[in-house]
Amino acid sequence: MQMDCDLFQDKQVSNELEAYLLGFFYADGCVHNNTFSIALAEKDKDFLQWILDILNNALNTAYVLRYNKKTKSYKFTISNRNFVEKLMSLGIVPHKTYENSDFVFKNIPDNFKWHFIRGYFDGDGSINCSIFKSKKKYRISFVGTYSFLQNIQKELGFFIKICKNSPAKNNSFYF
């Protein structure tokens, strides 16, 4: 099964949409045995359907969302070896080890890196608000490996304190 449109056709990301999707897939996607899947909370059904519609159009397929009553989530799985191999060549790896997270940034031209970070933030980022001495303080957080967060810090262009998560989360950091 070949892809019929330009989505992920080049050796590196070639547009804003690809950069955004790659960032989101990097955060929440899963590659395993020539399949790619994403599961999101029930409240994110429309967003997940939007992504699936883009992929169905690109792959000329008709994959559907599946609902899991137990987890109250929606999921799609794409079984397309060419698509999965393309994602892997761009830096999406099985089992989310991301030990060589610099690799994914090398596949994204500078003018699209912000879109990748935006997609990654939508998957593994958060905004928190706290009140300290009657003033609101906002904190933007990302979760990832230390080297990956260093890459984001470099792209954002300012210093960010990167902290280790709990010992139970061996290779997990946040800022």
pLDDT value of residue 3: 41
Name the amino acid, one letter, at 2.
Q
Residue 97's pLDDT is: 58
Among residues of the chain, what percentage have pLDDT more than 90?
A: 51
> Residue 1 — very low, low, confident or very high, per pLDDT cuts 50/70/90?
very low
To which residue do tokens 């050796």 refer?
11
Question: Torsions phi, psi of 70, nearest 5?
Answer: -65, -45
- Residue with tokens 């395993």, as numbered in its chain: 32
Instruction: Give tens-digit pLDDT for 44-63.
Output: 999 999 999 999 999 999 99
Report how far residue 108's alpha carbon sits from residue 133's, in angstroms, rounded to the nearest whole number: 42
Element (H, E) at 118: helix 113-124
Q: At what angle do helices 113-124 and 146-156 cross, to 10 degrees?
A: 130
Mean pLDDT of the chain: 85
Tens-place pLDDT, residues 104-159: 888 899 999 999 999 999 998 888 888 877 888 887 888 887 788 888 888 888 77
Phi and psi at residue 129, to the nearest 5°: -125, 135
Percent of the chain with pLDDT over 70: 85
Q: What mean pLDDT do residues 23-48 have?
A: 94
Q: Collect all residues with Cβ–Cβ distance below 8 Å to 77 and sequence separation of at least 6.
A: 35, 36, 37, 63, 66
Residue 39: strand pairing partners: 75
- pLDDT at 93 (0 to 100): 83
- String of DSSP letters for 20-86: HHHHHHHHH-EEETTEEEEEEEGGGHHHHHHHHHHHHHHHT-----EEETTTTEEEEEEE-HHHHHH
Residue 165's pLDDT band (cuts 50, 70, 90): low
Question: pLDDT (tens digit, 9 = 90+) per residue, 75-114?
Answer: 999 999 999 999 999 988 887 655 656 788 888 999 999 9
For 36-46, the pLDDT digits (tens) are: 999 999 999 99
SS3 at position 89? helix
* Inter-residue contact 22 to 90 (CB < 8 Å): yes
Sheet of 35-41: strand order equals: 30-32, 35-41, 73-79, 66-68
